Copies of this chain bind each other. A is one copy, B any other.
Amino acid sequence: MNWSKKFRVKPGATVKLNQIDASYTEPYDCGEQSVSELTASNEQISASQYQMYAEHKRSLLICLQGRDASGKDGVINHVFAAMNPQGCNVHSFKVPSHRESEHDFLWRYHQATPRQGYVAIFNRSHYEEVLVVRVHNLVSKKLWTSRYQQINEFERLLHANGTHILKFYLHIDKSEQLARFKRRLEDPNRHWKISESDYTERDHWSAYTNAFEEALMRCSTAHAPWFIIPANHKWFRDLAVSNIVRETLQAMNMQFPAPTVDIEELRKRYHQAL
C-alpha cells in the first residue's frame, strides 16, 4: 500500500471533513496486526534519519495539527520517539512571547525550522495562525485571509532550500473527542492539564471544521502536502503517520558521504598490530 498517496490531499481538491470516516482502518481489522508493522516502519525511519544526518544536506519538517485530544502527543510518543533524539527537535508553540508578537506571524516558526540533516516536529504549527485566530476573531478576516498565500510561499522557500515538509491533520470526530476527555477525567495523572476550555471549545466545532478545511484545501501543495489521518483508532493513526514518514524518507534516497580519509591506509598504519 502507498500510504502517502492514499491519505494525501491532492492540490486543489475539495475537502469535506464530515464525509471522511475518522474510524477508517482498512485493510486492518484490529490493532494487533499492526504492532510489528509499526515497529518495522519506525526502525526504517530511524535508519533513514541516520543517513539524513550523515548526508547533512536535506532536512524534514513535520507539522502536526488536529483538535484537542486528536493524538498529537501520542504520535510523538509512538512514532517520533523512535528517532535518535540527537537529530530530532520537537517544538510546541504556546502563546507568543511579547518579543515574538512584535514580529510577523511566521517569524517564530521560521526560527524553529530544521537545519541540514535534522528533523523538526511542530506540535501545532504556523497553521494555528489561520485556525484559532480565525475562529476566535483574534485578527481581522482580511489579515488571516492573506496568510494562506504567505504560508505557501514560506513553505516553498523552505522546500527550495532542502527542507521536505509533511503536514498531518489528525482526524477524530466529536464523540470520540468527548470519550477521550472522559478518560482524562478518570486518570488522576492527567487532571493537571484539563481545562474548562477543552469543553467550551466544542461549541466552535463547525467553525474549526471550516477553518481546517480551508487550510487543507488552500495549502496542500506538491512541495508541502497535507495528509488527513483517520485518528479515532490510535494504532491506525500511528501506523499511517509512521508509514508516510518512512515512504518520504526512503524516496529522498539519502547517501552516506564519501569518506574523507583513505580507509585502507588508516587500517595499515594504525591497526596492523591488532
Interface residues of A (CB under 8 A from B): 50, 54, 73, 76-77, 80-81, 83-86, 88-90, 92, 121, 123, 178-179, 181-182, 185, 188-189, 191-196, 199, 256-261, 263, 266-267, 269-271, 274
Contact = CB atoms under 8 A, between A and B. Distances in A.
Contacts of A261: 194-196
Given A271-B178, A274-B179, A88 B85 contact: yes
Nearest to A265: B196
Given A85-B80, A89-B89, A191-B256, A185 B54 contact: no
A75 to B, nearest CB: 11
Contacts of A271: 178, 181-182, 185
A270 B199 contact: yes
Q: What does DSSP make chain A's interface, helix, strand, loop or mixed?
A: helix
A274 B185 CA distance: 13
Contacts of A259: 191-192, 194
Contact of A81 (B54, B81, B89, B192): B81
A86 B88 CA distance: 10
Contact of A92 (B86, B182, B185, B257): B86
Given A92-B86, A260-B195, A261-B195, A185 B266 contact: yes
A269 B185 CA distance: 12
Contact of A85 (B81, B182, B195): B81
